[in-house]
Structure 1
């Protein structure tokens, strides 16, 4: 996977012996600790297998590396990446992100021409993967309203059994903000 132009800071607490091992490995290879750490993280995620979240032409592709699936959905556009991940379901992306994606994919309000998955970043040709769903959205609208949809999903989770539709929630929100 190509390096992104921007790096992000990751803070983690590790056992002292792991830190010492990391420092020793970096020194022995004359590499920076960050490079060794990135390599270890990517290798670790390559070693983790998951149930394939895509349709696959062969039965032996029933489980795949997490990184194979991740590479298929990755985008520099954070909203698109999160929508793709959430659309794959809670086993892949967790409950909240899956609910956000479900609201967007199921509400006609967000319908548009943009193919959310496209060719799965080349995984369609490489592995024969196809998405189980093929949502089309107005990506500009999704990007604009993503934070509101996240609020809506949290609202639903915190106010059971109240289940207003997304349009009703936006009206309630607008009235509340107008006061």
Structure 2
């Protein structure tokens, strides 16, 4: 039997980077969808794993990243998505949630073989993570309303690629843990 985890990618964020102005409108629309998805996953005891960029802060840990983001100018986008005490947290340095992280080991230890990828950025980190999940023989689900983009046309193309080339299930978030 398949065991699913909700993966939240890069949502603990200060939005202090060059594409932030292009990303923020999409993030604003994703936050309520992802908040609902997190609530339903937690209610149904679906493991929630945050995989977040460390922003080059190699001495930091997830608590410090969260504090920094909550003290930033876009705290309202982070506050509803905060990890709870049962959430797992993995730091990453590059686009893929798997690249040189312990995530594969963690998933194996937890018996997880189906990933619901959410967060940002659809045409970057979500796409690369879906590919890396695919080559690891993990099932991938992408709730289209729970992923944020910088460029809508590239995000649409990325979703089509994940669906066609990687066998990802692209769906509405409402169909998960309904």
Task: Please indicate, yes or no, whether the TM-score normalized by the shorter chain is above 0.5.
Answer: no
Q: Whose strand proportion is higher, 1 or 2?
A: 2
TM-score, normalised by the number of residues in structure 2: 0.26
TM-score, normalised by the number of residues in structure 1: 0.26
**Larger RCO of the pair (alpha carbons < 8 Å, separation 6+):** 2
Compare CA radii of gyration and give the structure with the larger one. Answer: 1
